[in-house]
């Protein structure tokens, strides 16, 4: 079946089945597919007058399958409108999947650069694959034409994917992940005068021996006078309380855009569900990053609801003393309902109910440093608990569902005041620590929406500047339109 027929088939299926999506856990302000599966964000950009977010998508089931590209547009990064499927497997070079990639506007057209994936033996056998970089173009930003293969893999390389394209001086450049013989992970940089003819320039990041064997979803960008590389390494082993997810995403900072030290890589997010971040530059100059807020190899509890996977809130990123700072885009304020100013809450071996049911809301609070307690924090119904552990000097997010029991922690100086900004959706949490110095992202399903409350155990705690508001539902009624 040719490309346009594959696109029509996918779109018709979504249009005919999207009403079957169960909404109990479907997010109210985190973007998810109108039907089916999503994973990596792709083609995140501002082009042709709109923000665009493409994404890895299987439209026929809420499970991973031959990858298509879903698509949504927005004028403010918060209110998204579903668009028709942009890419579908159809050609010999991408017959088993249009894998991750990126987008760029040029000469009034929108170009997509993506990985064409082919299984050389049985589907799922990663030891025998072929991956190439491919180009597609659109004049209206919605309907695309495939232009074919533009970059072949280096000799001896099979795993070669996830191109991120950008403009650099008077030419184009892209970075792409490659798994070299001997399981050596590299991020390769290619350059081009026209988006069609590319030459390999260098490797900007190479993993130490016996470390990561593949850097998925690489991204690189200038930020506050320095340069950042973001990658999702495969094969890293846990280190204490760090790197405990099946897959993680990391960043490094350098003054040289073509050389990053792999030993300086730091986790981007400490939570259970964060992978494959991709960034773009907004028209006002802000660097905005978004990621898949789900995780490989964990139970996907929304399978039966005919949807699976969502994206984080877009985050403004900056650098402070070489550290990546992440905050929700300022446009998130458009979601706020009436703010309830609670003020100071003093607890001693007690709880304080903030909200009768743990439904979409924004919570801000501070916890003064140097207090005496065993644990203290926030309980999110039956889903999760965020708590300070005084003995271990850690902040921990504990997801409590059966099959999802998985604490994630970070070290914290509890002599220092702590500020938390927390965004609760129907099945996810995003937590911003100390004005974005650290973050936790996680999902949860099928729990009881009991109280949202503060607590203190074995001691006294003063919570200050506590405020709470509900958040508007802007996505649960969105459907892909007839086009």
Distances (CA, A) of 58 to 36, 401, 478: 6, 26, 18
Per-residue burial over 280-307, b if 16 or more Cβ lie within 10 Å, else e, is bbbeeeebbbbbbbbbeebebbbeebbb
Average pLDDT, the chain: 94
Choose between 228 and 401: higher pLDDT: 228
- Rounded to whole angstroms, the Cα distance separating 126 from 33 reads 27
What is the bridge-based pairing of β-strands 307-308 and 36-47?
A: parallel
pLDDT recorded at residue 444 = 83
For 361-382, what is the mean pLDDT? 94
Closest to 7 measured CA to CA, from 72, 102, 103, 83: 83
Q: Which pLDDT belongs to residue 458? A: 95
Please report, for residues 164, 330, 478, the alpha-carbon distance to residue 190 in angstroms, rounded to integers and kept in the order given. 10, 34, 38
**Running DSSP on this structure, what letter comes out for residue 10?**
H
Q: How confident is the model at residue 303 (pLDDT cuts 50, 70, 90)?
A: confident
Average pLDDT over residues 25-50: 97
For residue 403, pLDDT beyond 90: no
With beta carbons less than 8 A apart as the criterion, state whether 126 and 159 touch: yes
pLDDT band per the 50, 70, 90 thresholds, residue 158: very high
Location of structure tokens 């030419």:
171
User: How far is it, in rounded angstroms, from Cα 113 to Cα 144?
Assistant: 12
The pLDDT of residue 314 is: 99
Question: Would you put residue 30 in left (φ > 0), alpha (ψ -120 to 50) or beta?
Answer: beta
Q: For residue 341, what are its two tokens?
A: 């100013």
Q: Residue 139 pLDDT more than 90?
A: yes
Q: Is the dihedral of CA 175, 319, 104, 328 positive or negative?
A: positive
Bridge partners (DSSP) of residue 433 are: 420, 438
Distance, in Å, from the CA atom of 462 to the CA atom of 441, rounded to the nearest integer, reads 25
- Residue range(s) occupied by CATH 2.115.10.20 in the chain: 3-328
CA distance 428 to 307: 14
E-state strands within 235-360? 250-254, 266-267, 275-281, 287-292, 307-308, 315-320, 323-328, 340-348, 351-355
User: Looking at domain 336-470, which CATH architecture does it have?
Assistant: Sandwich (2.60)
Q: Is pLDDT at 404 greater than 90 in this prediction?
A: no
Residues of the chain with CATH 2.60.120.560: 336-470
Quick one: residue 195, left, alpha or beta (phi over 0 = left, psi -120 to 50 = alpha)?
Answer: left
**CA 289 → CA 98, 194, 196, 296, 364, distances in Å?**
22, 26, 26, 20, 22
Q: What fold characterizes domain 3-328?
A: Tachylectin-2; Chain A (2.115.10)
Positions marked active-site: 40
Backbone angles phi, psi at 251, to 5 degrees: -140, 160
Out of 53-62, 381-390, 392-401, give the one with best mean pLDDT. 53-62
Residue 394 in this model has a pLDDT that exceeds 70: yes
Q: What is the pLDDT of residues 281-291, one digit of tens each?
A: 999 999 999 99
Q: What is the mean pLDDT of residues 176-193?
A: 97
Average pLDDT (424-451) is 89
User: 3-class DSSP state for residue 25?
Assistant: coil
State in Å, rounded, how far the first CA of the chain is from the last one. 21
What is the mean pLDDT of the segment spanning 195-202?
A: 98
pLDDT of 69 strictly over 70: yes
Average pLDDT over residues 138-153: 98
Instruction: Give the torsion sign (CA, 414, 417, 421, 424).
Output: positive
CA neighbours within 13 Å on the CB side: how many for 306? Answer: 14
Nearest to 201 by CA among 224, 233, 169: 169
Percent of the chain with pLDDT over 90: 84
Q: 307: pLDDT confidence band, cut at 50, 70 and 90?
A: very high
């Amino acid at each position: 079946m040719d490309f346009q027929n594959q696109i029509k088939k996918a779109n018709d299926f979504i249009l005919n089945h999207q009403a079957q999506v169960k909404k109990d856990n479907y997010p109210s302000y985190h973007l998810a597919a109108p039907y089916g599966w999503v994973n990596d964000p792709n083609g995140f950009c501002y082009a042709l007058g709109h923000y665009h977010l493409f994404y890895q998508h299987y439209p026929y089931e809420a499970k991973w399958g031959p990858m298509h590209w879903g698509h949504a547009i927005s004028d403010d990064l918060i209110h998204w409108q579903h668009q028709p499927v942009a890419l579908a497997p159809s050609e010999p070079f991408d017959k088993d999947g249009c894998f991750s990639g990126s987008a760029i506007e040029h000469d009034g057209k929108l170009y997509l650069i993506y990985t064409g994936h082919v299984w050389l033996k049985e589907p799922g056998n990663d030891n025998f694959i072929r991956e190439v970089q491919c180009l597609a173009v659109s004049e209206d930003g919605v309907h695309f034409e495939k232009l074919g293969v533009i970059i072949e893999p280096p000799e001896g390389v099979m795993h070669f994917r996830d191109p991120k394209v950008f403009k650099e001086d008077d030419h184009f450049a892209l970075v792409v992940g490659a798994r070299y013989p001997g399981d050596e992970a590299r991020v390769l940089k290619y350059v081009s005068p026209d988006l069609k003819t590319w030459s390999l320039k260098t490797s900007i990041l190479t993993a130490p021996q016996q470390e990561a064997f593949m850097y998925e979803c690489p991204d690189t960008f200038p930020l506050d006078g320095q340069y950042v590389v973001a990658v999702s390494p495969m094969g890293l082993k846990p280190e204490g309380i760090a790197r405990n997810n099946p897959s993680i995403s990391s960043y490094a900072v350098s003054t040289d855009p073509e050389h990053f030290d792999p030993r300086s890589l730091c986790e981007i997010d400490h939570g259970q569900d964060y992978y494959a971040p991709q960034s773009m530059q907004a028209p006002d100059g802000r660097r905005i990053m978004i990621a898949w807020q789900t995780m490989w190899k964990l139970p996907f509890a929304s399978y039966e609801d005919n949807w699976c996977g969502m994206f984080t809130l877009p985050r403004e990123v900056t650098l402070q003393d070489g550290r990546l700072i992440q905050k929700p885009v300022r446009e998130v304020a458009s979601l706020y309902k009436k703010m309830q100013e609670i003020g100071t809450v003093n607890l001693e071996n007690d709880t304080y109910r903030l909200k009768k049911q743990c439904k979409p809301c924004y919570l801000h609070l501070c916890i003064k440093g140097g207090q005496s307690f065993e644990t203290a924090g926030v309980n999110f119904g039956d889903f999760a608990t965020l708590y300070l552990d005084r003995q271990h000097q850690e902040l921990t997010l504990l997801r409590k569902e059966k099959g999802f029991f998985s604490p994630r922690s970070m070290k914290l100086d509890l002599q220092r005041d702590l500020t938390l900004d927390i965004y609760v959706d129907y099945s996810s949490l995003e937590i911003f620590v100390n004005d974005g110095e650290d973050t936790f992202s996680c999902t949860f399903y099928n729990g009881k929406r009991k109280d949202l409350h503060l607590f203190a155990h074995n001691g006294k705690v003063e919570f200050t500047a506590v405020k709470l508001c509900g958040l508007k539902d802007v996505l649960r009624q969105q459907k892909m339109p007839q086009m």
